[in-house]
């Protein structure tokens, strides 16, 4: 529900999940669109993420996408707008698992079940620089608190140090120019909307490339440049 200044009103239909929903986590993507993650008893007690499309709540890819039962689900968005979920993974000895949506599927971030022991009350957040942190009640240490951070490459969170991107003009109307600093080798570019749908893809082989965006509707888009295991991300506004 949201508060309209006078009363609390439903956002979409009340009772929109397929069954009993527990461990509910609410978050907004960078454009302000609401998402919820929860333990979905209507889909095998697995993790489900849904988003509000302006009229209805719809699944973010498959309902019940986790490998097994998922508890203490928490949802957060990376600075580039990718949804990321942490939960206690009962398929992996009740340890912590983190997954993110890569635009097509939900994928593990690092190893599944990465905590030393059982992980209850899991929570995750991003630092201002895009570093991913997880906190949980750690049974390995007598139920005390533990915080871990992800120290490897995670798609969409941070730019590789050896290659950064510049996008201009921004806002743009018909074309943007992409400039790459640092080492320039063949990279894959994708322009995605706030729903993580790839609308433009191409290969980049030069330090400076002009890209036609005239067919895109007005709005906010993310530009992802992928090379090997590193990803640089920029945001543009199409007028």
Q: DSSP secondary structure string, 145-191? A: EEEEE--S--TTTS--TTEEEEEESSSBSSEEEEEEEE----EEEEE
| Encoded tokens for 195 | 């729903």
Position 159 scores a pLDDT of 35
Query: Picking from 113-122, 182-191, 227-236, which range would have the lowest pLDDT averaged per residue?
Result: 227-236
Q: Specify whether 95 is located in the same domain as 39.
A: yes
Q: Specify whether 187 is located in the same domain as 139.
A: no
Residues in a beta bridge with 107: 100
Position 154 scores a pLDDT of 40
As a whole number, the mean pLDDT across the chain is 87
Q: Specify whether 33 is located in the same domain as 99.
A: yes
Q: Specify whether 72 is located in the same domain as 43.
A: yes
Residue 183 has pLDDT above 70, yes or no: no
How far apart CA 191 and CA 65 sit, in angstroms, is 25
Helix (H), strand (E) counts: the chain: 0, 20
Domain boundary (149, 183, 204) is at 149
Give the 3-state secondary structure of residue 42: helix
Position 184 scores a pLDDT of 60
Chain centroid, CA 188 distance in Å: 20
Position 111 scores a pLDDT of 85
Q: Specify whether 91 is located in the same domain as 195.
A: no
| Encoded tokens for 132 | 């991913």
- Can you give the pTM of this predicted structure? 0.65
Which is more confident, 71 or 184?
A: 71
Residue 49 has pLDDT above 90, yes or no: yes
Category of 196 on φ-ψ map: left (φ > 0), alpha (ψ -120 to 50) or beta: left
Number of structural domains the chain divides into: 2
């Amino acid at each position: 529900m949201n508060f309209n200044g006078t009363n609390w009103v439903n956002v979409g239909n009340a009772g929109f999940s397929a069954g009993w929903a527990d461990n509910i986590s609410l978050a907004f993507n960078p454009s302000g669109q609401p998402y919820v993650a929860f333990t979905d008893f209507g889909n095998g007690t697995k993790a489900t993420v849904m988003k509000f499309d302006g009229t209805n709540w719809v699944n973010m890819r498959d309902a019940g996408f986790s490998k097994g039962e998922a508890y203490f689900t928490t949802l957060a968005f990376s600075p580039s707008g990718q949804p990321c979920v942490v939960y206690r993974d009962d398929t992996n000895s009740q340890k912590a698992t983190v997954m993110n949506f890569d635009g097509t599927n939900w994928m593990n971030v690092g190893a599944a079940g990465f905590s030393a022991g059982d992980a209850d009350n899991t929570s995750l957040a991003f630092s201002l620089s895009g570093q991913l942190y997880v906190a949980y009640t750690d049974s390995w240490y007598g139920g005390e608190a533990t915080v871990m951070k992800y120290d490897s490459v995670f798609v969409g969170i941070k730019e590789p140090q050896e290659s950064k991107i510049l996008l201009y003009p921004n806002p743009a109307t018909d074309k943007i120019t992409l400039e790459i600093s640092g080492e320039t080798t063949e990279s894959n570019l994708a322009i995605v909307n706030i729903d993580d749908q790839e609308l433009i893809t191409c290969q980049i082989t030069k330090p400076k490339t002009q890209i036609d965006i005239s067919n895109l509707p007005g709005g906010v888009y993310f530009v992802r440049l992928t090379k090997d295991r590193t990803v640089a991300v920029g945001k543009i506004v199409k007028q």
